[in-house]
Amino acid sequence: MNSCLKDNFKLEQLSSDMEFEPGLVAPLLYGSFDMDDLVEVIDTGDYSMEDEEGLVYYLVYADTIHSVDDIVKFDIGLEDDDMVSFFQISLKTLNELAIETRMQIYLEDENHVVLDSLFDMQGIVLGSSTIDSSGKLLEPTENENSSTFDDEKIGILDDIAYMRVKATMRPSKRDEPFVKIYASYILDYELSMSANAKISTGDLN
């Protein structure tokens, strides 16, 4: 005699103490900017011109440091940070500009009070591209920096309302008065997060 047992799965029969930890990876912010975007914050001495091929470039003062300050809204829709067991933010960049950038990202609440910083006190350095003597790109620089939140930092996740990006920028070559940087070269960036969130089966009934 043949027999067949059929189980009917019912969510309410599961223990409410069971927990799943689904992994989440999501982009937070991405884009790019070029020299035309940076002209407002980098002193070019009003020196923009075209080379023999008709390509526009700027002559940037080599001995000056320029600051950039920007802020973006941060809301991951988190209702209870106690359910988060792992949280990490990663920054990927691809830099064609002959400019070295030191960056820090500050985490602020809705009143713009700084709660913490994303990276350590020194911030991170985004390396300059490699260019030849005529300013033409030889090799872009790729960087990836990650910040894994400890328990204390996870505890402020639901209080974070903004991310403030502060950066100092300076040309990488400082042995001449000016650095030649082509307008078409860009810096691509992508800020993403990955997380594990515990989900109680009792919340799914």
Task: Give the tens place of pLDDT for each residue, 30-71.
Answer: 777 777 667 655 655 556 788 888 888 887 777 777 777 888
In terms of residue numbers, what domain contains 115?
21-197
Examine residue 14 and state whether it is found in any structural domain, yes or no. no
What would the two tokens of residue 5 be?
């047992």
Neighbour count for residue 26 (Cβ, 10 Å): 9
Examine residue 6 and state whether it is found in any structural domain, yes or no. no
pTM reported for the whole predicted model: 0.71
State the total domains in the chain: 1
Examine residue 12 and state whether it is found in any structural domain, yes or no. no
Examine residue 58 and state whether it is found in any structural domain, yes or no. yes
